[in-house]
Chains A and B, each alone.
Chain A
Amino acid sequence: MAFDPDNYGLRLFVRYLVLCLIALIFIFPLVFMINSSFKPDNQLLADTSSLRAFLPVGDISLDNYFGAFRRAPVALFVLNSVLVTGATVLLSLLICSLAAFSFAFLRWKGRDVVLSIVIATLIIPFETIAIPLLLLVSKLPWIGLEGLQWGWLNTYRVQIIPWIADGLTIFLFVQYFKGLPGELIEAGRVEGASWWQVYYRIVMPLSGPVLATAAILKFLVMYNQYLWPLIVVQQENYRPIMVGLGYFFQLNVAWGEVMAYLTLITVPVLIFYLFLQRAFIASIASTGVKG
């Protein structure tokens, strides 16, 4: 049978076949990780040379999960990451949207120059400022329940505050705000609304897509934090999940426990994403952000 390029059904079949193959390539590492988390090390390593690596076959048990909890305080690491990530995302949405509101709607001297500088920070890799930032936070004061303290090392705040505001999130909000109908803002002002009221009664209720995008992007950055907590946190009590992964790499690597730990920290994110999938895709499409 000759290939007929005008055959719609055939074209659809080929298209879905290719898409399925691509999907399989992306999903294989996850399938491998989850299946391997139930296998003992010797079987896990032996299976890597065959398709058994992707199947839950052989000596299946939860031993690796028990082992992971024995080896490291997994729950503490997850709690730390959730706390730091959640707090940073919420504060980031508030602070960055306020900054963007100012750039988009208020008239003040030097606004465009400051916005250019904020956007220019996008090209500076974090690694280049990590050491100066470390020196800075190690000497900053803080007034807490125990009075005045110097130095932010080994705290939650050192993992949260430096990451609240960033150029990309502000830029996203500015771009989105500029696309909102100007008449709405003007109408609000004419009716006597203050700028603060315009912000939280008119602009923010219309900003669902950009809020979702900014939240997800910030979530990914914060949940995967490694370098910064590595250098500012020397106490286990404040360690996040990615630094905790190092607990499993000894001279003899316990691969099954590595896979169990990775599953424990990945699956919740996947479930979270599946629930928000529709909103995420819609928001990406509306803000024009590409990963």
Chain B
Amino acid sequence: MNLTKHLAGVMIASTCLCVPALAQTKLTLWYHGAGNEVESRTLNQIISDFNTSQSDWTVSIESFPEKSYNDSVAAAALAGNLPDILDVDGPIMPNWAWAGYLQPLPIDESEFADFLPGTKGVWNGKLYSVGLWDAAVALFARQSTLDELGLRTPTVDKPWSSEEFMAALDAAKASGKYEFALDLGMNDQAEWYSYAFSPFLQSFGGDIVDRSTYRTAEGALNGEAAQAFGKWWQSLFTGGYAPGTSEDPADQQTGFIDGKFAFQWNGNWRAVATMAAVDDVVFLPAPDFGAGNKIGAGSWQFGISAKSKHPEGAAAFIKFAAQDKYLAAFSDGIGLIPPTPSAAQMTKNYKDGGPLAMFFDLSKAQALVRPVTPGYVVQAKVFTKALADIANGADVADTLDAAVDEIDADIESNGGYGHR
């Protein structure tokens, strides 16, 4: 009898002791940053803090190389093997939502009210993803170059006009001091073209696709404004202002620092390294070609997989990760823009008076997200090819018309991607 009582007591006690462990539900998170030591360290710290901060959920991370991450996710979606929390590149998000990889976040958008617009992934009126940083592009220059060439220093409020920008390139070219006046990073024909160059098109008044309906590119990519953009774009290469598509990849990393270029169109992820090598580097806002000065926006964000059985746990993690202290830690670690003004004040680079503070202002004032449509994945590739062809001398009107046809055919073959 006593033995039975003892056994029963042990069983009850062990069952009670097991309750907290059983209550912890495991969530999986896939991340694109395998090999990025700083990013991984920060994210692992967030996960560790989250796991110890509560007893309901435990997050485990699986990191993937960035270059192959999207393919891995697409394959896993096919095989029904998606995790709970997915890392997604901002412009790709609508495609993944449309394809059924993601579900809307069960978090009120007002919780991210002070986040930069580019860090919020909204599609079809629903919030699908939130980013812990944003990126921005600027015109890298030396103050000494501006002074020598007698150029006005443009500001966010008063950027260079089209004429001022071309006059600056002419002056740099005429000085004979540079191999090229401007480096655009033309060798990188991946997402860079649509991210970095479509804002030029938008500043001319065109776009990759007609955003009012997202059902056609007609008029947006081959209208009058787009034709003007195309001719200007081609003139950069025929006029000898910028190296073309066969540019040495090494030049995008060291060409400006080595003094081969007077100006460089580059992202803020190169800003810290450039500041270390160039004492008087200045980051200038995009020129205004007539329809306002624009730059791209939208970087990697966290969303919840459509297959997740625990969206509330995944949402709890995303909210936890979006605390200012973590946003600031990411920014200090990898040099990208913190999404909130309060987090910016906690960073060394983006606080008021910080060396990169202007990027935060740029993101706020000039940023325009890439077309928010599932078709963007194809449209970006078509746009990239068209710009490369035009840079290589193809007829502007014919190339843009062909690009429009290709984009429209893709939209049609996908039933309009859900846009009505």
A residues adjacent to B (C-beta < 8 A): 41-42, 45-46, 48-49, 70-72, 131, 134-135, 138, 151, 153, 230-232, 234-236, 243-253
Extra 11 A-B pairs, beta carbons < 8 Å, given A230-B72, A245-B65, A250-B35: A72-B35, A134-B79, A231-B71, A231-B75, A234-B30, A236-B62, A246-B65, A249-B65, A250-B36, A251-B269, A253-B253
Q: Is B250 an interface residue (CB 8 A)?
A: yes
Q: Is B53 an interface residue (CB 8 A)?
A: no
Interface contact B270-A252, CB-CB below 8 Å: yes
Q: Is B67 an interface residue (CB 8 A)?
A: yes
Distance, CA A250 to CA B63, complexed state (A): 13
Interface contact A235-B62, CB-CB below 8 Å: yes
Give the residue among A153, A250, A252 with the most B Cβ atoms within 10 A.
A250
Q: A236 contacts which chain B residues (CB < 8 A)?
A: 34, 62-63
Interface contact B254-A46, CB-CB below 8 Å: yes
Give the residue among B35, B66, B67, B68 with the most A Cβ atoms within 10 A.
B35
Distance, CA A235 to CA B64, complexed state (A): 8
B78 CB contact (under 8 Å) in A135, A247, A252:
A135
* Given A45-B253, A48-B248, A235-B62, A246 contacting B34 (CB threshold 8 A): yes
Interface contact A230-B269, CB-CB below 8 Å: no
Q: Is B394 an interface residue (CB 8 A)?
A: no
Q: Per-residue CB proximity of B65-100 to A under 8 Å, as 1/0?
A: 111100110011011110000000000000000000
> How many A-B contacts are there with CB distance less than 8 Å?
79
Distance, CA A231 to CA B68, complexed state (A): 9
Q: Which of B126-155 contact A (CB under 8 A)?
A: none
Distance, CA A138 to CA B80, complexed state (A): 8
Q: A49 contacts which chain B residues (CB < 8 A)?
A: 248
Least CB separation from A228: chain B residue:
B75
Q: Per-residue CB proximity of B190-203 to A under 8 Å, as 1/0?
A: 00000000000000
* Given A48-B250, A134-B79, A249 contacting B273 (CB threshold 8 A): no
Q: A71 contacts which chain B residues (CB < 8 A)?
A: 35, 37
Distance, CA A34 to CA B373, complexed state (A): 45
Distance, CA A247 to CA B267, complexed state (A): 21
Distance, CA A232 to CA B95, complexed state (A): 22
Q: B270 contacts which chain A residues (CB < 8 A)?
A: 251-252
B residues adjacent to A (C-beta < 8 A): 30, 33-37, 62-68, 71-72, 75-76, 78-81, 248, 250, 253-254, 258, 267, 269-270, 273
Interface contact B34-A153, CB-CB below 8 Å: no
Interface contact B66-A250, CB-CB below 8 Å: yes
B35 CB contact (under 8 Å) in A42, A48, A151, A246:
A246
Q: A249 contacts which chain B residues (CB < 8 A)?
A: 35, 65-67
Distance, CA A153 to CA B296, complexed state (A): 37
Closest 7 CB pairs of A and B: A246-B65, A247-B35, A231-B75, A138-B79, A45-B250, A251-B269, A246-B67
Q: B79 contacts which chain A residues (CB < 8 A)?
A: 134-135, 138, 151, 153
A70 CB contact (under 8 Å) in B37, B62, B71:
B37
Interface contact B68-A45, CB-CB below 8 Å: no
Distance, CA A248 to CA B75, complexed state (A): 22
Interface contact B68-A230, CB-CB below 8 Å: yes
Q: B33 contacts which chain A residues (CB < 8 A)?
A: 250
Distance, CA A247 to CA B37, complexed state (A): 10
Q: A41 contacts which chain B residues (CB < 8 A)?
A: 253
Least CB separation from A70: chain B residue:
B37
Instruction: Quote the shortest CB–CB distance from B339 to chain A (angstroms).
Output: 18
Q: A235 contacts which chain B residues (CB < 8 A)?
A: 62
Q: B250 contacts which chain A residues (CB < 8 A)?
A: 45-46, 48
* Given A134-B78, A252-B269, A243 contacting B30 (CB threshold 8 A): no
Least CB separation from B36: chain A residue:
A250
Q: A232 contacts which chain B residues (CB < 8 A)?
A: 75
Q: B76 contacts which chain A residues (CB < 8 A)?
A: 234
Query: Can you list 25 residue pairs at the A/B interface with Cβ under 8 Å?
Result: A46-B250, A71-B35, A71-B37, A72-B34, A72-B35, A135-B78, A138-B79, A230-B72, A231-B71, A234-B72, A235-B62, A236-B62, A243-B68, A244-B65, A245-B65, A246-B64, A246-B65, A246-B66, A246-B67, A246-B68, A248-B35, A249-B65, A249-B67, A250-B33, A250-B35
B64 CB contact (under 8 Å) in A42, A135, A234:
A234
B75 CB contact (under 8 Å) in A48, A134, A243:
A134
* Given A236-B34, A246-B66, A251-B269, A231 contacting B253 (CB threshold 8 A): no
A234 CB contact (under 8 Å) in B62, B66, B273:
B62
Distance, CA A71 to CA B72, complexed state (A): 20
Least CB separation from B255: chain A residue:
A45
Distance, CA A135 to CA B250, complexed state (A): 41
Distance, CA A78 to CA B266, complexed state (A): 36
Interface contact B65-A247, CB-CB below 8 Å: yes
Instruction: Quote the shortest CB–CB distance from B148 to chain A (angstroms).
Output: 25
Least CB separation from B76: chain A residue:
A234
Least CB separation from A130: chain B residue:
B75
